Amino acid sequence: MGAFVLCLFATLVLFGQGGPGREKIKTLKVAFITERLGLTSDEAQAFWPVYNQHEKEIQRIRRMERVEIKANLMDMDLLTQSEANELLNQLMELEKTKQDLNIAFLEKMSTVISPKKTLLLIKAEEDFRRRLLKEMQQRRKGGG
């Protein structure tokens, strides 16, 4: 991994992840993906708007999951069978929407960048999540 991205990870660890931490993570992710995919400037111009729009849509659905579904799971004992059925149907609908969005995203992305770079994107996102989780775990061990 490039020195720039390693430096960004170190910055994240040093400054924590309060409110501004989310922006730091986003900046780190952009650098990580850009480096991993080796995007040309033309590819980057086409890639980032599609990528960012997809991220926004997925975040919207995750927020709905938290607000509408998971909050209600806290009071499971109070749910009637009918309410549980409705909640399960909402969850399945959100999962289907997420899956449809992901499929549409991959289809579009493979026309914006090559199919090989699209596959590299999937791997880069997974690698980024894994590395970020590892950094956070190490930070908790060192800081706790």
| Strand runs labelled E in the chain | none
Mean pLDDT across 3-30: 62
Is 86 in contact with 94 (CB distance < 8 Å)?
Answer: no
Buried b (16+ CB within 10 A) or exposed e, 106-124: eeebeebbeeebbebbeeb
At residue 73, does pLDDT exceed 70? yes
CB half-sphere exposure, 40, CA atoms < 13 A:
5
pLDDT grade, residue 110 (50/70/90)? very high
Kindly state whether residues 45 and 94 are assigned to the same domain: yes
3-state secondary structure of 113: coil
3-state secondary structure of 129: helix
On whether residue 117 sits in a domain, the answer given is: no
Q: Report pTM.
A: 0.76
On whether residue 1 sits in a domain, the answer given is: yes
For 9, 19, 141, the CA distances from 13, given in Å and listed in that order, are 6, 14, 12
On whether residue 119 sits in a domain, the answer given is: no
Mean pLDDT across 14-19: 47
At residue 54, does pLDDT exceed 70? yes
Among 2-6, 56-60, 113-117, the range scoring the smallest mean pLDDT is 2-6
Top-confidence residue, 100 or 3 = 100
Number of domains the chain is built from: 2
Q: Which of 122, 114, 125, 105 is nearest to 26 (CA)?
A: 125
Kindly state whether residues 101 and 46 are assigned to the same domain: yes
